[in-house]
Amino acid sequence: MEALSSLELHPSFEAIEEIEGWLSRGEFFVFGAILAYQNVVGVQGDILEIGVYHGRSAAAEAAFLKDQEHLVLVDTFRWDEIDGVWDNIHRVVPDLARDRVEFMQMRSQDLTFTEPRFRFIYVDGGHTFLETTADLALASDVLLPGGVIVVDDYDDADWPEVKTAVDGFLARGDFRVMLDPKVEVSQRKLYLVRP
């Protein structure tokens, strides 16, 4: 735990906090710790976020991209929203080249990837059972070895179908819980890894 508490995270949470959204200080620390750990142990791949809002969590993820990695952001963006999200990310990570952030203006159910390419996938798209189930199936298919799937709003009373979908996904036995919302720092997020 000492190694994690001394982990120097870039950017500071204060830079992230200026962006509208719901990523808390504790969640920011967990994201940063996972992404930094992957960097140290050599897990390489792109980062995928489904459901972006204003880019608060995307900016945190962008700070941990390694050379040649991309941040893929999927949402039903309006064009002006894409510019706003990019501005938020760029303000936090000013040295990040624009072509390393891929905006996919579509529903996640319309995504097609031909092979695993992601080391970190944040699922916060549609909150129905079918949408969550589809997002988890996609995430499972495109996650690299050593990768992590983060599901937002698990066990949130406002979104009961998310929990139902995730519980069904976990019942298959392909993934296990790494960190769950009962741990104070993770709040509404469930962190999944392959055994």
The CATH number of the domain holding residue 101 is: 3.40.50.150
Look at the pTM and tell me if it is higher than 0.85: yes
Q: Which residues pair with 72 in a beta bridge?
A: 48, 102
Model confidence pLDDT, tens digit, residues 111-139:
999 899 999 999 999 999 999 999 999 99
pLDDT reported for residue 6: 39
Q: What is the DSSP letter of 63?
A: T
Domain count of the fold of the chain? 1
Integer Cα distance of 159 and 105 in angstroms: 24
Model confidence pLDDT, tens digit, residues 57-115:
999 999 999 999 999 999 999 888 999 999 999 999 999 999 999 999 999 999 999 89
Contact criterion met (CB below 8 Å) for 162 and 134? no
Integer Cα distance of 90 and 113 in angstroms: 26
In the sheet where 101-105 sits, what is the strand order? 101-105, 71-75, 46-50, 118-123, 143-151, 190-193, 176-179
Residue 42: Cβ-neighbour burial (10 angstroms; 0-12, 13-18, 19+): exposed
Per-residue confidence band for 2, with pLDDT thresholds at 50, 70 and 90: very low
Q: State how far Cα 86 lies from the chain centre.
A: 16
Q: Which domain holds residue 131?
A: 2-193
What's the whole-number average pLDDT of the chain? 91
Closest by CA to 118, choosing from 147, 96, 75, is: 147
The neighbour count for residue 77, using CB atoms within 10 Å, is 17
Q: What is the per-residue burial (b if ≥16 Cβ within 10 Å, else e) of 164-184?
A: ebbeebeeeeebeeebebeee
User: Token pair 């059972």 is at which residue?
Assistant: 129
Per-residue confidence band for 180, with pLDDT thresholds at 50, 70 and 90: confident
User: Token pair 């709003």 is at which residue?
Assistant: 153
